[in-house]
Amino acid sequence: MRYLLNVRSRWVLAWALLAALCAVIPLPLTAAEPVNLILDTDIGNDIDDAFALALIHALENRGEVRLLAVTITKDNKYAAPFVDLENTFYGRPEIPIGVVHDGKTRDTTDMLREPVERRNANGQYTFPRRVGTDAEPKEAVALLREVLSQQPDGSVTIAQIGFSTNLSRLLKSDGGRELVRRKVKLLCLMAGWFGEGAAPEYNVKTDGKAAKELFAEWPVPMIFSGFELGRQVMIPYAEVQKDFQYAANHPVAESFKVFAKPGEDRANYDSTAVLEAIRPDRGYFELSSPGRVTLGPKDVTIFTPDPQGNARYMILKPENRLRVQELLVALSSEPPQSAAPVAASHRVPF
């Protein structure tokens, strides 16, 4: 009896010690590993790509994501410097950038050109960057292959918020489909239009051939954020005017002002796909049943339910619309963090 009491007493003491330790050692809110993310963007054709990139930086500040690389499908010389100056503004100038060769939308847009070319009174760039000064971007597919090959199997999420040019070329490159199957766990894309009244969607129809190939051949799960969802989530002009005032010169706010008409709210399509890529388990969106996405006349997306399919599309319930909209703008307008945690070891050299 005395022995049993002693054993019980020891257990009580051990539990008391453990409780005391837990009280003094703060446990992280989440022990989850950050999402290893590649962003593939047509930045410069609409303003939401710049906001989606700012959103990624805010979530990397929280340790939720590690931006491995940015690849670009807009074939214009200002796109890479703009991505680079935005990454530099947020304290991460080392993020490698890949550019498309012989791609779509070669036109120059002022929302890229003006921030890239802007100089201060001393003749220095208002927004410093490395591209065009001491570094040059790589070709996008080569960079995708390099980055993927260096990551653990099944660990990479890709957010495609432009055309399918780069990712379809990746699949067709030597061993590319196998590389994707081995390294990528999820592709979130802003692409298509699902449900009533569906019409051709810009990201799909601009490179319809690539989209068709990607949707047919992609070997791991895909989650689509369609036009019908993104158009419900706005970037309010008045909020951009107020929320980015912390910086006298802010690349995202300045690009927005160049692009949007005074007072014009713009849709935040791309940020919805990025949010799902990084926070898939927060219930912001519902998902459709599994199925397959194919293209019909004029490259309109057709979703066919199929239990064996690897595609789903996102659904935004009316009661979640405002919280998603406000969350995205609030996160995108977060100032750069002076001591942002940077897991540089996971990134390939610029």
Site of interaction with Ca ion (CB under 5 A): 42, 49, 161-162, 270
Nearer to Ca ion, 95 or 179 (CB): 95
Residue with Cβ nearer Ca ion (72 or 184): 72
Q: Which lies closer to Ca ion via its Cβ, residue 44 or residue 291?
A: 44
DSSP conformation class of 135: B
Closest distance to Ca ion from the beta carbon of 158 (Å):
14
| Nearest residue (CB) to Ca ion, 104 versus 321 | 104
Are the C-beta atoms of residues 65 and 37 closer than 8 Å to each other? yes
Helix (H, G, I), strand (E, B) or coil at 65: strand
- Contact partners, residue 254, CB within 8 Å, separation at least 6: 114, 115, 118
286-287 and 311-315: which strand pairing? antiparallel
Least separation in angstroms between residue 44's CB and Ca ion is 9
Q: Name which of 49 and 228 has its Cβ closer to Ca ion.
A: 49
Nearest-angstrom CA–CA distance, 265 and 35: 30
Residue 53 or residue 65: which is nearer to Ca ion going by CB?
53
| Nearest CB to Ca ion, comparing residues 49 and 207 | 49
Alpha-carbon gap, residue 44 to 86, rounded angstroms:
13
Smallest separation (angstroms) from Ca ion to the CB of 11: 59
Q: How far is the CB of 161 from Ca ion (least distance, A)?
A: 4
Q: How far is the CB of 273 from Ca ion (least distance, A)?
A: 9
| Whether the Cβ atoms of residue 272 and residue 49 lie closer than 8 Å to each other | no
47, 161 contact by CB (below 8 A): no
Query: 68 — phi, psi (to 5°)?
Result: -80, -35
Question: HSE on the CB side for 339, CA within 13 Å?
Answer: 0
- Residue 316 tokens read as 């935004």
Q: What own/partner pairs with CB < 8 Å and gap ≥ 24 does 318-326 have?
A: 320/283, 320/284, 320/285, 321/232, 321/233, 323/284, 324/233, 324/272, 324/275, 324/284, 324/285, 325/232, 325/233, 325/234, 325/268
**Minimum Å distance from CB 105 to Ca ion?**
10
CB of 46 to Ca ion, least distance (A): 6
Shortest Cβ 48–Ca ion spacing (Å): 6
Instruction: Please give the C-alpha separations between residue 312 and each of 235, 265, 316, in angstroms, as whole numbers.
Output: 25, 28, 13
Give Cβ neighbours of residue 21 (< 8 Å, ≥ 6 apart): none
Q: Considering beta carbons, is residue 194 or 227 the nearer one to Ca ion?
A: 227
Cα–Cα nearest to 310, from 245, 250, 249, 223:
223
Report helix, strand or coil for 171: helix
**Choice between 143 and 161, CB closer to Ca ion:** 161
Q: How far is the CB of 270 from Ca ion (least distance, A)?
A: 5
